[in-house]
Amino acid sequence: MKSSRLRAELLAAVVFWGLVFLMYAAQTWWLMSTTRTPPGVRIGPSLVWSGGFYLWWAPLTVVVWNLTRSWMPARIGWPAFLLRHLALGLAMAVVHVLLIIAAARVLLPPDPEPFWTAFTSQLRARCYIELIIYAGVVASGLAVVYYTRWRDREVEAAQLEAQLASSRLDALQQQLQPHFLFNSLHAVASLAREGRNADVVKMIANLSDLLRTVTDQAGPTQTLGAEIELARRYLEIQHVRFGDRLTFDVEAPSELLDLIVPTLTLQPLVDNAVRHGISPNVAGGAVRVRASRHDGVLQLTVDDTGVGAPPGFSLAAARGTGLRNLDARLRIMYGERAALAVNTQSAGFGVVVTLPVVRA
Range of 42-51, 77-86, 113-122, 201-210 with top mean pLDDT: 77-86
CATH number of 217-356: 3.30.565.10
pLDDT at 149: 85
pLDDT, one tens digit per residue, over 6-19 is 888 889 889 999 89
pLDDT average, residue stretch 329-354: 86
- What is the three-class DSSP state of 40? coil
Give the burial string for 235-262 (b: 16+ CB within 10 Å, else e).
bebbbbbbeeebebebebeeebbebbbb
pLDDT average, residue stretch 125-142: 90
Inter-residue contact 297 to 305 (CB < 8 Å): no
Q: Is the pLDDT of residue 156 over 80?
A: no
pLDDT, one tens digit per residue, over 267-320 is 889 988 988 899 888 889 999 999 999 888 999 999 999 888 877 777 766 666
User: What proportion of the chain, given as a percentage, has pLDDT over 70?
Assistant: 86
Q: What's the mean pLDDT when you consider all of the chain?
A: 83
138 to each of 87, 102, 112, 199, how far by Cα in Å?
A: 13, 25, 37, 81
Residue 5 has a CB neighbour count (10 Å cut-off) of 12
Please tell me the distance from the alpha carbon of residue 342 to that of residue 326, in angstroms, as a whole number: 12
Q: Give the distance between the most distant pair of CA atoms in the chain.
A: 120
- Name the band, by pLDDT with cuts 50, 70 and 90, for residue 160: low
Q: Is the pLDDT of residue 355 over 90?
A: yes
pLDDT average, residue stretch 62-78: 88
pLDDT at 305: 92
pLDDT at 301: 96
Inter-residue contact 57 to 21 (CB < 8 Å): no
More confident residue, 284 or 45: 284
Question: From the CA atom positions of the chain, what is the Rg in Å?
Answer: 38
Q: Beta 285-294 vs 246-251: how paired, if at all?
A: parallel
pLDDT at 127: 87
Least confident of 19-23, 52-56, 310-314: 310-314
Residue 355 has a CB neighbour count (10 Å cut-off) of 22
Domain spans, the chain = 2-157, 217-356
H/E stretch holding 188 reads helix 115-193
Please tell me the distance from the alpha carbon of residue 226 to that of residue 166, in angstroms, as a whole number: 22
Overall pTM surpassing 0.75 (yes/no) = no
Q: Is the pLDDT of residue 175 over 60?
A: no
Strands annotated E in the chain: 221-223, 246-251, 260-262, 285-294, 297-304, 339-343, 349-356
Please tell me the distance from the alpha carbon of residue 185 to that of residue 187, in angstroms, as a whole number: 5
